[in-house]
Structure 1
């Protein structure tokens, strides 16, 4: 995988803004309607993944080839936009700001995510409640294939990158093992939960939905989406917007300067999330109910391993993620590389 070139340290801030402005104009001009439809579809895939606790929309963005563009676009939102606006002023300045933040790309992606949340939240909630083995098997295959694909993208393994990869695994496993909170969430608490969850959603392998689950806010948010409770929805969205703007600038810098090391860490996050998406789960009594969160061996699963169905769904998840990765590589325009 590749990443965009980082600004040169000897260039003045105004020069950096000018370079970013020119790059944004080229990027916006190069997007065809077909490419924007592709971004919308990838947004739908991200939204579907984010609904499931244990699966990250950032994982989908990474394998589909839009992760760096997403981080760069969000990371460009800041005080420098005022300088971009002042260069032209008026309507031209607004257009320049729109291009600077790659807003057409972000809008298409957001529409895809919102579409998934509006149309799939109820379906996925039903599957999680009634057919957990099936949906977890599908996503387990998806995550395994993702890890294998991303490992092949890491060049020149060294001790530092291996340590980062292992650190990512340990962090994700630790997060997945934390006890769930069961507090009744207030609106300020939901704002806070949304801010924390969106940071996780951006990180591949760290599930924003699972963070909401840990904080005791997942069911409240899912029910709000299902019933169109606008006060809860807008509160969570405001928290997400706040967390997103604060978090992505640091991640953008890491991807620009230490791409391979950051990719090793992110891949570790994804590998560690396999603990959370393991299909065969039971409750504390070894039975199946809505509290089934403890992993067991397939042959210890109360209803049997269901090898044919589970392995078929894992294979389907792996095939789909491989196709998404292939699509991402072929739809991505050539960029410079960073180590």
Structure 2
């Protein structure tokens, strides 16, 4: 079980480095999302048993972020379209997983549309340019942590909107410790705020919350889908999509077998 949480954390860490892909979305896909929310909330209420989840997930996230940042920096520049199609497949499977938690009825459809509207509003707000500063690093850490908690919202995409994505990616891939510590202040604050909110919503408005999450995941497909494609990348992109769909549904199968959402 700990291995599954660690592996989930690795994938979440990788996802949070890629613009348009949410670590929270990957947590939904891996079946650890709700357990992770509960564990973080329990930890801040003094329940040490939650560390059985938080330590392996946290270690996995660190491995995923620091282990893949430099690799993605190079890989995305050389093979951007097939790489984005791979994550496209994971997002599709994530929506299938999320759909298990809510039924089709008018109120839930409304929240699906509301979730989609939020993501599209963020996208069409456009990027802003700003100088990297202490404040922007803290703010960037806050939104990145929020994205880890809220499926469908990509922290990296929001960093792009604020104009600090390249700087943060450079800090991670080249291990600039001082500024990364400043960035982590925002991360901790984002986790504290986001987890409290999501824990409340999942207990009081479970179906509506997952409907909203489903809408955000659906809209994030547009964020990841490449807007320009050459004919020479069509086949690699299709193969990449098929591979990610196969992997995603295989992970869903394994998750159901292990019943991760039912026990620590």
TM-score, normalised by the number of residues in structure 1: 0.73
- 2:224 match: secondary structure: coil
- 1:76 match: secondary structure: helix
Provide, for residues 289-323 of structure 1, a one-character-per-residue CA deviation record: whole Å limited to 9, x for no partner: xxxxxxxxxxxx3x326332211111111111112
Unmatched segments (≥5 aa) in structure 1: 1-34, 82-96, 282-300
- Whether the 8 Å contact between 1:140 and 1:279 is mirrored in structure 2 is no
User: Which residue matches 2:18?
Assistant: 52
Provide, for residues 112-161 of structure 1, a one-character-per-residue CA deviation record: whole Å limited to 9, x for no partner: 1111112110111112222111111111122123223432x144321110
User: Which residue matches 1:163?
Assistant: 110
Q: Using the TM superposition, name which of 208-217 and 44-53 deviates more.
A: 208-217
Pick one of 99, 120, 132 that aligns with 2:80: 132
- Whether the 8 Å contact between 2:22 and 2:155 is mirrored in structure 1 is yes
User: Which residue matches 2:9?
Assistant: 43
- 1:124 match: secondary structure: helix
Alignment of 1:1-339 (within 5 A): 35-78=1-44, 80-81=45-46, 97-99=47-49, 102-151=50-99, 153-281=100-228, 301=229, 303-304=230-231, 306-332=233-259, 335=262
- Whether the 8 Å contact between 2:141 and 2:184 is mirrored in structure 1 is yes
Unmatched segments (≥5 aa) in structure 2: none
User: Which residue matches 1:294?
Assistant: none
Mapped to 1, the partners of 2:93 and 2:193 lie a distance apart of: 31
- Whether the 8 Å contact between 1:43 and 1:110 is mirrored in structure 2 is yes
Q: Which structure is higher in RCO with an 8 Å CA cutoff and minimum separation 6?
A: 2
Mapped to 1, the partners of 2:102 and 2:131 lie a distance apart of: 47
